[in-house]
Structures are given as structure tokens and as C-alpha cells.
A and B are shown apart, each in its own frame.
Chain A
Amino acid sequence: MNKEKELKQQIKQLQEENRILLHQVDELNKKLVESESFKSHFLSNVSNEIINPFASVMGLAQQIMNLKEDQINKAAELARLIFSEAATLDFQLNNIFVAARLEAGEETPEYTSINILEITGHALDNIRHKADDKQIKFDLDIASGLTGFVTDRKKLELILINLLDNAIKFSPSGITVALRVKRSGKNLSIEVEDKGIGMKKEEITRIFDRFHRANPTIQSLTPGSGLGLAVVEGLLFILGGKAEINSAPDRGTTVRILIPEGNPENITFDDNLFFEENEESF
């Protein structure tokens, strides 16, 4: 009798496991179908991302070539426009190349001591023209005395640009985006807060997926490859960091990332290269 009970219990458990597995397969299936359509969106989006700024750069350069000798102010203005188009191009290409390296398993941390003011400055320069276009202002709160933090400079910069770019992209004109950088224990804490369109809870879990773009209705209005946050997540993994997201529809989004200080000597090829003992060979 007892045995029968036991068996019934086991069957129940297996059925439950089966149900969970089926559910997971179903979810995965949906993702695959979505992934295919995202991929094709990606190709058409990305060619726009590259071709449009390129066409602008060429057109603007041509205008400079045709200027008269006394039109130096006009030249400076055109050069500014060229810079902003080139910055957009640089950022988009960077995201694509880094995503490709992450997917090839070739991205490793390169630790140096950084100056956070310099890095935030660079990041802001890169997206300033996009902010200016929408009259978006920045409220900066960057803790002083943050020099000498050890992390990967290029990766941190790309993370920052992606977060700021998203904040601008998903905000209406004329609002303020807050950027707060400080040391929090052994971590570098970076917070980007916007008062933009925000997201529903279900959306938040999907935003790190590659090619996924929050809110398909604005897909055609806002440019982008859909790679940004997938790249951010991949880079955070390498730096040992993590991201927290708070968002509600029409209330805006706050992304907070924490990055632990890197130790360049943490992982090296140490003197155990030739194991002294207890070594096995295969």
C-alpha cells in the first residue's frame, strides 16, 4: 500500500516537472520566432544607422569644400555637424563590433586606473548633439575624489553611452536626465534616471535580449540596433558588475549599475604554472 502511495507521489512530481519543462519549451519557441523577426529588423535598421550618418558626413564635407575663403564660421558649424554624425556612427559601430566579439568569446577585461570625470565627459560629448536636438538637459552629480578607480575604461565608457543614449531616446523633448556617479562601498555606482515613457514590468525582463526593442510602436520612430542593452549586460558580466532597473509606464526609468573595482593582478598566469604536487596529466 505504501509503495503505491510512493509511486503515485513520484508520478505527480514527474508530471509537475513535465509541465514546467513544456512551459519552458513553449517560451523558448516564442523567443526563437521573435528572434528571427528581430534579426531581419536588425539588418534593415542597422543599414539605416550606418548609411544615413555616412551620407550626411559626405554631404556636409562637400559643403565645406565649396565654401568661400571668408566663411570660417560656416565651416566651423558644418564641422560640428560632421562630428556629431561621426560620433553616432562610431557609437553604433562600436556596439556592433563589441557584440560580435562578445558572441565570439573574445572580449576580455583590460584594467587600468581611470578618471571618472574624463570618462563621463567623453560619454556626454558623444551623445550631446542628440540631447541638444531634443532640448534635453543633464543633471550631473559626479562624486569628486573618484580618480584611481580600477576598471576597464573602454567598456565603462560604452556602457555609459548606451545608458545615456537610451535615456534620451525614450524621453520626451525638454526634460532633464540625471546622471549620478559615486563610490558605493567597493563598487562604482552609476545611476541614469529619465522621466521618459518608462516600461511595464513584463518589458523589463526582456530588455537585455539582443535585437529586442522596447515598445515596437516606437520602433520606426527611434533609430537603433536593439543591441545596446545586450551589450551593456555582456560588458557588465566581464566586469563582474550588475544592473538594477526601476521603471513604470509614463513615470520614467532608472538604471543603476554597480561595478566592483577590478584587480589587474587578480587573474594572471601565476607561479602555479608548474604544479608542485597532486598534479594529474590527461
Chain B
Amino acid sequence: MVLQPKTYYLYPSNIFASREIYYITTLLGSCVAVCLYDRRQQFGGMNHFMLPFWNGNGLASPKYGNIAIAQLVQKMENLGSNRADLVAKIFGGASVLDIDTTLFNVGERNAEQAMAELNNLGVKIIASSVKGEKARKIIFNTFTGEVRQKYIEKRTLKQK
């Protein structure tokens, strides 16, 4: 019998991690997703954040990179990971022009925030596909750690 992974659509500003086998999928414009994978125990989790830093407005939610990344690492550790076993792949951060934001270069800054925060936390980044001008759709296999990516034409993507 082939083990069929469950699927999970990750909404913006959410986090998902599980010890079970999942395909986690999400759509990224200027947002960034970090996929964390535990190489030893073979499971993973993903976040999807929209802005680099929480500025004190509203709730301290994982809509913001500095919160989303720390929380994802925490979640993996709560599920039993050792930080040394974690590796990260980063996606997104495109400069999608039709995004309604007053922030300059928000995609690029999201991507840089992800790298800086992961370095801070001592998590190794082993792959990334960031910046550029096209939106992305990704699928993360939490058992193998593989992430498959496809670029999406701007017009077909709603603001994410």
C-alpha cells in the first residue's frame, strides 16, 4: 500500500506543522514562506508571512516575519525536533506590482528578513527561490522535504 499524504492549504499569516505526512501548499506573491524540515525525524512545517516586522499594530500574529519564523521553529521543537536537525527552504518575496501596499520593496524585505531571522536562530538554509517578479505556487512534501514550485502568471493570482 502506498502511503497517501494528506493535503493542507496554508492561508496567509498562518502556520502549519505536523508529524504526519502532508503536502502543504500555498500561493506566494510578495509574501514569503519558510519550509522547515527535520532531516532526522522526517517531518516538517511551513509559515506564510506578509510583512517583515510586527510594528505593534493589532495582534502579534504570524502575519509578520519576525514572529512567523520564531513561531515555526518553536512549533517544530514542540513537536520534538532538535534545532540542529532543522533545515530551511525559503520561497516568495516577489515584487508583484499589483499588491496594494505602501511599503517599498516589501517582497525583497520579506525574503531578507527570512534569511536574517533563520541565521539568528541557527537554522541552516539549504535552498531558496526568492524575489524576482513572478508569483509562485509551492507544494511541500513534509516527509521527503522536497518542495516543488511553479511560477504563476501575475494576472491569474489574487493578492496574496
Contact = CB atoms under 8 A, between A and B. Distances in A.
Interface string A264-282: 0001110011010011111
Given A269-B7, A279-B148, A105 B57 contact: no
B148 A238 contact: no
A118 interface: no
A62 to B, nearest CB: 38
B152 to A, nearest CB: 10
B56 A105 contact: no
Given A108-B14, A275-B150, A102 B56 contact: no
B53 to A, nearest CB: 9
Nearest to B13: A105
B86 interface: no
Interface stretch (A27-35, A122-130, A158-166): A27-35
Interface in B133-151: 137, 139, 146-151
Nearest to B126: A282
Interface residues of B, number: 35
Interface string A238-282: 100000000000000000000000000001110011010011111
B59 A233 contact: yes
Contacts of A35: 56
Contacts of B63: 237
Interface residues of A, number: 34
A270 B93 CA distance: 23
A32 to B, nearest CB: 7
Nearest to B63: A237
Contact of A105 (B23, B62, B150): B62
A269 B9 contact: yes
B58 A209 contact: yes
Interface in B1-22: 7-9, 11, 13-16
A237 B59 CA distance: 11
B60 A32 contact: no
Given A282-B129, A282-B149, A273 B25 contact: yes
Given A278-B150, A280-B149, A282-B127, A105 B59 contact: no
A219 to B, nearest CB: 19
A116 to B, nearest CB: 24
Contacts of B14: 105-108
Given A31-B55, A231-B59, 6 more contacts: A105-B15, A209-B57, A210-B58, A230-B59, A267-B9, A282-B89
Interface of A: 24, 28, 31-32, 35, 99, 102-109, 208-210, 230-231, 233-234, 237-238, 267-269, 272-273, 275, 278-282
